[in-house]
Structure 1
Amino acid sequence: MKQTTISKTIEISGIGLHTGVEVNLALKPAPENTGYIFVRTDLDDFEIPASVEYISHCSYATTLMRKGVVLSTCEHLLSALRGYGVDNCFIYLDSIEIPILDGSSEVFLELIERAGIREQNAPRHFLKVLEKVEFEQGDRRMSIEPSDKYEIECVIDFPHPLINHQTYNFEMKNGSFGREIASARTFGFTTEIEMLRKANLALGGSLDNAIVLTPEGMLNEKPLRFENEFVRHKILDIIGDFALLGMPFLGKLKAKKSGHSVHASLMSKLLKTESAWEIVEI
């Protein structure tokens, strides 16, 4: 199996979910063994590799930082790249935050499909899990264990009539990301909005880019894209965050009430447990 990159440059504009600032984004082909690299065109093309070592904080989105330069809300784009099987890509943007678009990975995926992907000469590398690694934080739990597949089992629990208890099992294969995960949108609660705004977050949030939940239902007039759209979006976030490993994994991830900070903690623990993984070519 060979590495891939996109066949041509693709561009899109949008607003940042948390900053509310307009941002221009371009995805460009990259040489083999590059991985994903963010390039801040507003800061003399400063580069921030999409890597676990640059995770800065993970409150309501995953934020990377290198030498004081920040890149925020990268998980939906990284999820689309990993989900479509793109290994190498330069991501040019002229602001601090990736555009939120419709709150899912669907538009990014459509752009990548339109560009097409090109096979490269180098073999694709996988991080193969050899032994189980777990992380717990209160009632939040996440683990990864050996498997010959890329699998995620996710459980969420919210005391809300549209969510309650949702479970989803996902395997990355044969376009399953596009069919099952890519269009699931991010969600939030009206009870959180005032707090977020006071913290200068969610300034670009709207019914066009998020499911907004009231205590009894939701503000959005358009229906849910899936009955269990919420747990599917959690898997979308997991795929995007775990793209920061720098290669697809072979293992089974199990997540219960997880979030960006739990994802980051498990990745860090996994990488530090050197006996728990090896890099393989298939």
Structure 2
Amino acid sequence: MDGSAAPFVFLLQSAGVVDQGVAKRFIRITKPVEVKMGDKWARLTPYQGFRLNFSIDFDHPAVRSTGQSLKFDFGNASFVKEISRARTFGFMRDFEILRERGLARGASMENAIALDTDRVMNEEGLRYSDEFVRHKALDAIGDLYTMGHCMLATLEAHKSGHHLNNLLAREVMQRTDCWEWKSFDLEAEESPFLQGNDDFVFA
């Protein structure tokens, strides 16, 4: 594993695709849903597809210099090429504290981007110029998929992480007035994920 979703994507692509006997079901957001924690927030709003408007805020030179916001639409961009390869990252000061407590024993520069006080320590550098925010977006996609279905919505978030993403998913499940099930009859109605996207299976 390398700290990204790429190994999982490779295995899924290697397994191939099998047509199912029923149409895929999506969770379609019909009303805005939002959760907040201080200056951190995450919001889902209606959209006929799935797109992200994600921003982070890390006071670190390497992160600040690479861009801390991302806009991404699954309908016209490739998750496999543009998001899945973004690796998790961590700060050496935190890594040393975790090691002292017997945690993060499997962490290394082979499966994470390591940051010291002012730079990326990995010899190969970054895979994307804005890899940090792309990985946080990847986290959010995975966290929302714990609901068991893909979404038709716009996700807007600022400084959101696993905990806040999880709270947003829980809020959606509790707010049955803000979403509905949606399936597409491919003979009559085309899914927004099939419009020129070569990796819609992962959407």
Same fold per TM (> 0.5)?
Answer: yes
- Give the letter for the 2:22 counterpart: A
Match among 90, 108, 113 for residue 8 of structure 2: 108
How far is the alpha carbon of 1:175 from its aligned partner?
A: 6.6
Measure, in 2, the Cα distance between the counterparts of 1:140 and 1:200.
29
Greater relative contact order (Cα < 8 A, sep 6+) = 2
Match among 80, 85, 92 for residue 183 of structure 1: 85
- The answer to whether the aligner puts 1:126 opposite 2:45 as a matched pair is no
How far is the alpha carbon of 1:200 from its aligned partner?
A: 3.1
Measure, in 2, the Cα distance between the counterparts of 1:199 and 1:120.
47
How far is the alpha carbon of 1:171 from its aligned partner?
A: 1.6
Cα deviations across residues 96-153 of structure 1 (Å, max 9, x unaligned)? xxxxx00001111112112211111111000000100111101111000101011111
Measure, in 1, the Cα distance between the counterparts of 2:88 and 2:158.
17
How far is the alpha carbon of 1:198 from its aligned partner?
A: 3.4
- Give the letter for the 1:125 counterpart: R
Measure, in 1, the Cα distance between the counterparts of 2:47 and 2:4.
27
Aligned partner of 2:43 in structure 1 is 143
Aligned partner of 1:202 in structure 2 is 104
Measure, in 2, the Cα distance between the counterparts of 1:102 and 1:129.
33
Match among 121, 130, 137 for residue 228 of structure 1: 130
Q: Percent identity?
A: 38
Aligned partner of 2:161 in structure 1 is 259
Unaligned 5+ residue runs, structure 1?
1-100
Cα deviations across residues 46-68 of structure 1 (Å, max 9, x unaligned)? xxxxxxxxxxxxxxxxxxxxxxx
Aligned residues: 182
Larger relative helix fraction: 2
Measure, in 2, the Cα distance between the counterparts of 1:142 and 1:231.
15
Measure, in 2, the Cα distance between the counterparts of 1:169 and 1:277.
23
Larger relative strand fraction: 1
How far is the alpha carbon of 1:201 from its aligned partner?
A: 2.4
How far is the alpha carbon of 1:249 from its aligned partner?
A: 0.6
Measure, in 1, the Cα distance between the counterparts of 2:18 and 2:77.
16
Q: CA RMSD in A?
A: 1.3
Aligned partner of 1:65 in structure 2 is none
- Secondary structure of 2:146's counterpart equals helix
Q: What is the TM-score of this pair, normalised by structure 1?
A: 0.62
- Give the letter for the 1:122 counterpart: V
- Secondary structure of 1:275's counterpart equals coil
Measure, in 1, the Cα distance between the counterparts of 2:160 and 2:183.
30
Match among 57, 65, 77 for residue 157 of structure 1: 57
- The answer to whether the aligner puts 1:239 opposite 2:141 as a matched pair is yes
Measure, in 2, the Cα distance between the counterparts of 1:194 and 1:102.
20
Measure, in 2, the Cα distance between the counterparts of 1:235 and 1:253.
10
How far is the alpha carbon of 1:187 from its aligned partner?
A: 0.1
Measure, in 2, the Cα distance between the counterparts of 1:135 and 1:270.
10
- Give the letter for the 1:144 counterpart: L
- Secondary structure of 1:274's counterpart equals coil
- Give the letter for the 2:160 counterpart: S
Higher mean alpha-carbon deviation, 107-116 vs 144-153, is at 107-116
Unaligned 5+ residue runs, structure 2?
185-203
